[in-house]
Amino acid sequence: MILVALLSLALVRQDFSPAVKRELPNGALLWAEEVPQSNQVSLQLWASSVGCEETDQTNGLRHLAEHLLARGKDGSVDLRLESVGGYLRARTFRDAMQFEINVPAKHLPLAVQVIREIVETRDFDEADIAREVNAVSQEIALTDDIQKLSRTAWTAAYGKNGLDPQGDLEVISKATPATMKSLIGKIFNPIHMAVVVSGPIKPSKTLGQLQPIFAVLNSRGKRESAIRGASQIADVSSDALGEARAVPVGPIDEPGTLCTLAAAMAIGGLVDNGFVQYTPTFSKGLIIVGQTESTGTIEKILTASDDGTRAAWLASAKFAATQWLNSQLTNPIGIGTLRGNLLCQRSEVNIEKLTRAIDQITWPEFLKSVEKFESKSVKVTGR
């Protein structure tokens, strides 16, 4: 099975999915989209990493902030959500942070209350920090193989510009209430925040409920995308099980990025327990295809395939990419994830351009993209 860790690619057809976008005076972007056939509402808060980019000295503090914030005001967020069949997921990526709250539709007010608590709670004491440092330390210790392969690929491709957002435990364990309060203030800069709500909702009314929470935040600076330096390729080893090939790519809307993604999906589809990992960004990124059971499988697939075989992959690649995109249109979680990640990085996103980019992939372009995984990729060899 392919694990596709794509976090955002979007195609919103406003003709059948009524959506409302609102930009607040402080720069925060709100997006509400009606998905009438769903029983579930997804309310997601996204904050770009611009303004709090990590260095060796701060690597992991955003991750710790995510853990602290996800507990809400008194640590009861999970229990309250679960009591109504809902839940919260929080994730930290290199270029953004996500808080995803999913609830049965009638419990939207609870989701709004939780998002308010996340945004408004800034003070954490030593005990709070110690507890979450412990949780993060276990998370790091039990990092799965996909994550390990990915981390190795990012380090090889981008060095210090590709630091693992999971973080450095030594840095994390030195966090203080003051440093975390200051960091959270930077993370919640409305100019770099987007809120997306989707499900069986009335978009304008729902935005009206969310607007007061975000309108009071003070903004600093101007909206911009994360910047990542030049990439390089190399052959590297990892202590993880499996293997990976990673191709550095440009911003998501740059020609070739989605073609490379489609090629990765084609290759990943041929491998048992394969995965494709790509976090869309308007900075430079990395598209990784791999698997976690053995080594040498991807090499075998690539060397055993001739142009005729790869031509058959093209259909499968375009189809898989399109299917994935389409599946995001009707699913509140997908819509929130797709829109949120893009909107917190750039206020205007031309979704149709992304869709067209997949539709218009040509055979020569596809072949070139597949070849990148052979010769222009970071090759990670695990145990």
Partner 1 sequence: MIGALVAWAMLQEPTVFPNVRVIPSSGQVVRIQALIGIPPRLTDEEIGALRTLVQSQVTESSDFGPTKLLELCSGGGKPRAEVMEDHIRIWLTVNRVDLRIGVKLMASVLNHPRLDDPESMGTAAESLDSKNPVYWQQLLVPKRYPYLPYNPEMIKALHQKVYIPTNVSLCFGGDISAEEVLPLVAGEWKEELWGQKFAYRQRFTKAKEWTRPNAQATLVSLNSGAYTATTDIDLALATSMVLGLGKGGAVFRVLRSQVGLSYRQETYLWPDERGFRLRSAFATLPKDNESTLPDQAKQALLTDVESWTQEDLDRAFALGQSALEGEYDQCPIGFRPNGGNLQQSGEREFMSLYWPYKTGTQWDPGLIMTRLRSLPLDRVKTFATKSINESTSWMLSGR
- Residue pair 204/20 in contact (Cβ under 8 Å)? The answer is yes
- Answer for which of 120, 234, 315, 356 binds partner 1 (CB under 8 A) is 315
Residue 123 touches partner 1, criterion: CB under 8 A = no
- Residue pair 204/22 in contact (Cβ under 8 Å)? The answer is no
Stretch that binds partner 1, among 79-87, 115-123, 210-218, 370-378 (CB under 8 A): 79-87
- Answer for which of 204, 232, 309, 362 binds partner 1 (CB under 8 A) is 309
Strand ranges (E), the chain = 3-6, 19-23, 29-34, 40-48, 87-92, 96-104, 193-199, 235-237, 243-249, 274-278, 285-291, 378-381
Q: Identify which of residues 102 and 150 has a Cβ nearer to partner 1 in the complex.
A: 102
Q: Identify which of residues 83 and 237 has a Cβ nearer to partner 1 in the complex.
A: 83
- Window 279 to 298, contacts with partner 1 (CB under 8 A): 292-294, 297
DSSP result, 95-157: SEEEEEEEEEGGGHHHHHHHHHHHHH-----HHHHHHHHHHHHHHHHT--HHHHHHHHHHHHH
What is the smallest separation between the CB atom of 100 and partner 1, expressed in angstroms? 11
3-state secondary structure of 177: helix
- CA pair distance 253, 354, nearest whole angstrom: 6
What is the smallest separation between the CB atom of 334 and partner 1, expressed in angstroms? 11
Count the residues of the shown chain that bind partner 1, applying the rule CB under 8 A. 39
Stretch that binds partner 1, among 216-224, 245-253, 311-319, 364-372 (CB under 8 A): 311-319
- CA pair distance 199, 331, nearest whole angstrom: 8
- Answer for which of 326, 347, 371, 374 binds partner 1 (CB under 8 A) is 326
- Window 177 to 236, contacts with partner 1 (CB under 8 A): none
Q: Identify which of residues 157 and 321 has a Cβ nearer to partner 1 in the complex.
A: 321
Q: Identify which of residues 144 and 359 has a Cβ nearer to partner 1 in the complex.
A: 144
- Residue pair 292/243 in contact (Cβ under 8 Å)? The answer is no
Residue 130 touches partner 1, criterion: CB under 8 A = no
- Window 20 to 59, contacts with partner 1 (CB under 8 A): 39-40
Stretch that binds partner 1, among 11-19, 110-118, 211-219, 308-316 (CB under 8 A): 308-316
- CA pair distance 165, 158, nearest whole angstrom: 13
